[in-house]
Amino acid sequence: MMEDWDSLRLTLDAACKEQPDEQTVERAVRAAELVAATAGEPPDELPPADREWVEMHGIPSDELLELACRSMKCVAALSDDWHDRLNDLRFRLGDVAAA
């Protein structure tokens, strides 16, 4: 379980390092989903544990939103599979960042 905003930040940062492994990418996507959800753009399916985390943590900083957007661009560039999977998440993060 993600602990706090700092752990999300570290996880998202790791996704922009050169060639992150699959596990790092999965954790970063989950972190970005939590950022999007706390910013008011949750996915259609949010696991109960993540929903509870979102309810406890309030609204993310603009800096964290920008980092989530940037890290998902990094991840999406890794392969077409990731690009397709992340389109919805990137769209939701972009909506929040633009608001």
15-61: pLDDT as tens digits: 998 889 999 999 999 999 999 999 999 998 999 999 999 999 999 99
Structure tokens at 14: 């790791």
Q: Measured between alpha carbons, how far is 45 from 48 in angstroms, rounded to an integer?
A: 9
92 has a pLDDT exceeding 80: yes
Residue type at position 39: A
Q: How many CA atoms lie within 13 A of 60 on its CB side?
A: 30
**For residue 36, how many other CB atoms are within 10 A of its CB?**
29
